[in-house]
């Protein structure tokens, strides 16, 4: 008969053996992370480190960079154009995040709760595809299209206004420094709505139909169902959309480059285009690198803050508590 000590030793041996196996299995998983880690180092970490280094130098793109410490950052903080570019970014957050989210959730609810039951899912899918169409257009194509529409002499917007006898409303939409930012915001809203509609319709497909049936039995109107069920159930999707679109708005570049190149004057300049202009137009590489570094820092702060908000807001949602 085995002694108590022998039994204890065997039990301990059995307790240790799985840990060793688990550790070995986990060790094998590191090979799967290796390609992503190499890609991260090559595409993100090393270029960002080089950008930080150049931001501490005075360099025109040729010759040897001269180390000047934080002088570029000190100039940046006193540069009114730098702060103007961030004020424009706030406007583009409204155009790319807030307005498309508000419009998208309303359109998705109408398509899902009204159009699909009344006219069939094919009609709803067709309308959803039309909303998403701007997302698959290259930015260059969309920009050329809108520049033609905004053209002051023969553009379709001013031509339509004149045909309707509203010629007084015709404007030089992209050439007026007071109107250009609103014209660009309009294009960004048009580009982003399809993305939000698709995400929110996907989110609505997981909502229990019994919630709407119970609300109808209780006599709730569509607007009441929208406020109490749709918006509440779409909280995770709304958080994700706000995070992704806000980050996209902070680093927006292509629409500005195609439509206005930051003009007229500097009325639509944004940090990404400001950095690009410093790099390639004025050849202030160190200064442009400082702008890019500050922009990366701000995007990281906004993304972390929104992710923390999303995590806190989704607590209780996953375990069924609204």
Given this model, what pLDDT does residue 94 score? 95
Contact between 99 and 189 (Cβ < 8 Å): yes
Tens digit of each residue's pLDDT (9 = 90 or more) over 88-105: 999 999 999 999 999 999
Tens digit of each residue's pLDDT (9 = 90 or more) over 215-231: 889 888 888 988 899 99
Residue 257: other Cβ atoms inside 10 A: 17
Model confidence band, residue 316 (pLDDT cutoffs 50, 70, 90): low
Model confidence band, residue 72 (pLDDT cutoffs 50, 70, 90): very high
Given this model, what pLDDT does residue 29 score? 80
Contact between 243 and 251 (Cβ < 8 Å): no
Given this model, what pLDDT does residue 313 score? 67
pLDDT above 60 (res 239): yes
Write out the DSSP string of 156-167: HHHHHHHHTT-G
User: Can you tell me the distance from the alpha carbon of 301 to that of 314, in angstroms, rounded to the nearest whole number?
Assistant: 20
pLDDT above 50 (res 4): no
Q: Which among 229, 199, 207, 206 has a CA at the least distance from the CA of 105?
A: 199
Q: Which among 309, 272, 320 has a CA at the least distance from the CA of 86?
A: 272
b/e burial code for range 164-198 (CB count within 10 A of at least 16 → b): eeeeeebbbbbeeeebbbebbbebbbebbbbbbbb
Alpha-carbon distances, residue 113 vs 212, 222, 225, 233, 297 (angstroms): 9, 9, 10, 14, 41
Give the mean pLDDT of 286-300.
91
Contact between 306 and 246 (Cβ < 8 Å): yes
User: Can you tell me the distance from the alpha carbon of 266 to that of 256, in angstroms, rounded to the nearest whole number?
Assistant: 11
Contact between 88 and 181 (Cβ < 8 Å): yes
Tens digit of each residue's pLDDT (9 = 90 or more) over 256-277: 999 999 989 899 999 999 999 9
Domains recognised in the chain with CATH numbers: 73-316 (1.10.3720.10)
Q: What percent of the chain has pLDDT over 90?
A: 52
Given this model, what pLDDT does residue 32 score? 86
Give the mean pLDDT of 232-258.
90
Model confidence band, residue 322 (pLDDT cutoffs 50, 70, 90): very low
**Would the CA dihedral through 294, 296, 299, 303 be positive or negative?**
negative
Tens digit of each residue's pLDDT (9 = 90 or more) over 15-31: 445 555 566 666 678 88
């Amino acid at each position: 008969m085995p002694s108590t000590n022998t039994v204890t030793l065997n039990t301990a041996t059995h307790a240790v053996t799985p840990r060793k196996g688990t550790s070995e299995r986990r060790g094998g998983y590191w090979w799967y992370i290796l390609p992503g880690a190499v890609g991260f180092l090559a595409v993100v970490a090393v270029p960002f480190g080089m950008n930080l280094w150049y931001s501490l130098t005075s360099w025109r793109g040729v010759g040897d960079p001269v180390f000047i410490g934080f002088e570029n950052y000190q100039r940046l903080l006193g540069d009114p154009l730098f702060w103007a570019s961030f004020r424009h970014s706030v406007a583009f957050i409204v155009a790319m995040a807030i307005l498309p989210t508000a419009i998208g959730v309303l359109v998705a609810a109408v398509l899902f709760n009204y159009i699909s039951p009344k006219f069939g899912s094919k009609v709803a899918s067709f309308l959803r595809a039309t909303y998403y169409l701007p997302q698959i257009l290259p930015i260059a194509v969309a920009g050329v299209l809108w520049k033609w529409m905004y053209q002051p002499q023969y553009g379709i917007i001013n031509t339509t206004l004149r045909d309707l006898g509203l010629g007084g409303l015709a404007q030089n939409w992209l050439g007026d420094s007071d109107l250009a930012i609103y014209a660009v915001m309009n294009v960004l809203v048009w580009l982003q709505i399809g993305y939000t509609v698709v995400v929110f319709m996907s989110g609505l497909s997981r909502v229990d139909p019994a919630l709407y049936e119970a609300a109808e039995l209780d006599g709730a109107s569509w607007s009441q169902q929208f406020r109490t069920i749709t918006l509440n159930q779409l909280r995770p999707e709304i958080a994700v959309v706000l995070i992704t679109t806000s980050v996209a708005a902070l680093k927006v570049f292509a629409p500005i480059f195609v439509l206005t190149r930051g003009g007229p004057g500097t009325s639509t300049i944004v940090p990404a285009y400001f950095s690009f202009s410093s790099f390639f137009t004025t050849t202030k590489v160190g200064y442009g690198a400082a702008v890019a570094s500050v922009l990366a820092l701000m995007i990281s702060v906004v993304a972390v803050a929104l992710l923390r908000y999303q995590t806190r807001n989704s607590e209780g949602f996953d375990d069924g508590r609204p």
